Structure 1
Amino acid sequence: MDDSAPRRTVPIKLAVPQERRGDLHQTKTQFLHCTNCTSEWAWRYDDYCITSKNKAENALYDELREETNLTANLVQKGIRRAIEAVDAGVEKLKKGEKTSQPKFDSWSVVYDKRSATFNADHATLSTPNGRVTCEYVLPPEDEREDTPFGRYYESDDWDASSATLQYGEQDDTFYLHVTLKNPDYEVDGTERQESESRDDTTENGVVLGVDLNVTGAFAVTSTGEFIGSADYLTHKRDQYEQRRKRLQQTGTRSAHLTIQSIGSRFSDWSLDWLHNRANDLIAEAQDADVDGIIFENLDHIRENIADGSKFQQWAYAKFVELVKYKVESTTLFVDTVNPAYTSQRCSHCGFTHEDNRDDKEFKCQSCGYEVNADYNAAKNIANRYCGYIHRGQKSRGGWAASQLALKSGTLNVNGDYTPAELLG
């Protein structure tokens, strides 16, 4: 399939049999073992890093097959994911930028058609203990037409090519983020010609909205990607604080030195964790072929957690700072919007009400649209940015209003079509 074909990512909630849930967790553990072993082998400070997927597979495949019970395809996927990350790191080193060995700890497993089958109402996923059949949790058939699942997954024009399996710790739920491609899509010749003649600017920009969170997933994108665990980050911080307080109560010089030591180690760990999550986000932006990454502005984030931890405020500010720094070597840009009411607004119909959201669940009181609340907010962040540009604000990508709008509307990164009259 043509890699240049347009892509859409459709997140699908899975109903996994209770007796097979452990198999999926085991798959994740062994998949991350493959990626981290490959990264450690390929990342060589004193010599040169290995960025050839063939070399890595020849050197590591047999060993990793013996160490895990994964199928051949999943082992290969793990190796290749790590080599892609190492290759990106090498490019940074060539430009004199600071980076470190890629590390993988987010809950995710990459599947393609050799290790998974994508059916109308279920998927089968390869695990160390055979395939697991997972039913899709879907809205009623008559309500799917205006959802990403109905527009793309059920369309004959779009083909499911791969998927990333993820797990939500807070709601104890598995999600399959299916990537679909349309190989027959062609840009209208007239629009292409107009775009190429406009002073090297882009007529139609595509952006990725990002919602940052104190609980649940650390960052959720408008493509339905759930990155990192805010709960895990908080847990690690709490562990450090508890130990620090115990040592303070001791009051000895030795205890004071130990506090300094563990503080330094936790600081290094936190920064490394945020670096890896920033890499995950940029990889998602590049996979989705977007032009810009849009965050909620930091003032709003600080207000949201004003009564919470200063560490959380630092973590979100540092995360955005890292993303801004890392995109300097890419064609991406970073911008922000005021996210007021993005958590209460329905990304499907626009109805805004505080009763729409209940913790991590979102159900529109007007149209009945149900979706993960953070995913809904991420889509609203992207849509709000598109609205800003439509009303005349110039984007960081250099777009003017006339260059962003399509003839009949705007298509955001999640594939949600917005008629032009609704953008103003």
Structure 2
Amino acid sequence: MALTLMQRAGWGLADMGIVVFVVVKQLLVFAFLTSQLGVPVGLAGAVTTAVLIFDIITDPLVGYLSDHTQSRWGRRFPWMATGAVVMAAGMTGMFAVPAGLGIAGSLTWVIGFFVMATIGFTMVAVPYGAMAGEITQNPRERSAMTAWRMGFASIGILVGGALVPGLAAGMGHAWAALAVSPLIIGAIWASIYLTRRAPRIAQATTVDPRAVITLVLGNRPFMALTVLYGVMTMAIALITAGLPFGALYLIIDSGDTFLSGAARALTTLSLMFAAFVVGAILSQAVWVALSHALGKMGALILGLSLYIVLLVVLFYQLPSVDVTLIAGLFVLAGMANGAYQQIPFAMYPDLMDITRAQSGQAIEGAFSAIWLFGQKAANAIAPLILGGILTAYGWVETTETITVQPKAALAALQVSISLVPAGILGLAIVGLLAFYRPHRVH
């Protein structure tokens, strides 16, 4: 049965709430620790990585439990509804650090609520990803669903990357997080309501954990794509983790370009994310059309290639005093990023169908958990890598947002958010061509 327009759009809506948290944790937590709490950059990177590694452990557990859940609301909805509240509460709490705790106390506070928020995120994201394999088995319909998802995700990126930093600059990080919490919860709950009559597999699976692992790992195209998407995510996570520092130290508004007024009103960081989102929104229909014309893999490789070109251009433009020029590059980067955002998420549910057809088992939650595992591993490692690089070149932490940095540290930052991610994306393209061999359901 074909999905209605409201069901396709409704499924995509949840990602708006999910992405707000994803962007906040990738963009602000590392910078918050080093620029607001005075935590040494190497320690901040290690702490962020440790929490995200813990988060990885919860993915298979939630995937397994959601596959085995049986309720009047189905297998996925109870997890998503509860997780939305846990995620928003944890996100707000980790920024509400009481004064006078010192570095050790502040770290303990942030870690506790960060763990809470990431558990809530897993409770939402794993069942949500599983729904993509349940509610339709039509590859073209999945491309359309994913376009809706990425359209809403772009709004989430705008909120998390532009609105939250702007609010945080005026009212503090905790109040900014609290202000967007209703949007996070509301988007996820509205998605549940709008998809309540979509086709779904309500019967809980009875497969034991060992058999689940065997089935998922036995799907070689899925495992190859999961690893390669994790590689792509590593590149994007490095950019995201380093961008707050880049906006402070590498993009200095001269005050006389077309978007200088917007940079002063929004902050440079918020302006860059707004430009990025504009590009991402403009590209969604384009990538759906290119996926149909070139195939999903061909369109993905094209998008990653364009991304590499833009990152090389960005390297040669930084440092810059022209916020208009850099914002223009971020519009183009957002368009290229649309391929990374959209196409793999339309590819991997197709691969779930292979296992379901061959085994008769509906274990979409397990697949969704492993899919997220690759992304979370990359997001966990990226702050550690960036922190290690900056520490090696003498980066200076501060409690005053900005301070004088060594030239070598600034040069390392410039390379870390441009050429290093470009090289990683190049490796992902090579991996796709060498190792990804999808086959169809018979």
Q: TM-score, normalised by structure 1?
A: 0.27
Which has more strand, going by share of residues? 1
Higher Cα radius of gyration: 1
The higher-RCO structure (CA 8 Å, 6+ apart) is: 2
Q: TM-score, normalised by structure 2?
A: 0.26
